[in-house]
Amino acid sequence: LEAELCAVRERGWASVTEELEVGLNAVAAPVFDVHGQVVAALSVSGPSYRLAVNRFDEVAKQTIATADQ
């Protein structure tokens, strides 16, 4: 778990691959306040056939960009 948290911090986003529900994947990014503190998370989820693992990088970039607005 600690290694995964380190990887998430380094990468800047988190993902779930059918861990909570079979057939459901998700990508999430932090939302920061003006002081750089995490105040929320923005998550995108969908069926694994639409939100496939090979799309995580693309979806994560869009999610981070939206969270930064």
pLDDT digits (tens, 9 = 90+) for 31-42: 999 999 999 999
> CB of 27 within 8 A of CB of 43?
yes
The beta strand positions in the chain, using DSSP E, are 14-17, 24-32, 38-47
Note the pLDDT of residue 14: 97
Considering the segment(s) 2-67 as one domain, its CATH architecture is: 2-Layer Sandwich (3.30)
Instruction: Tell me what the mean pLDDT of segment 2-29 comes to.
Output: 95
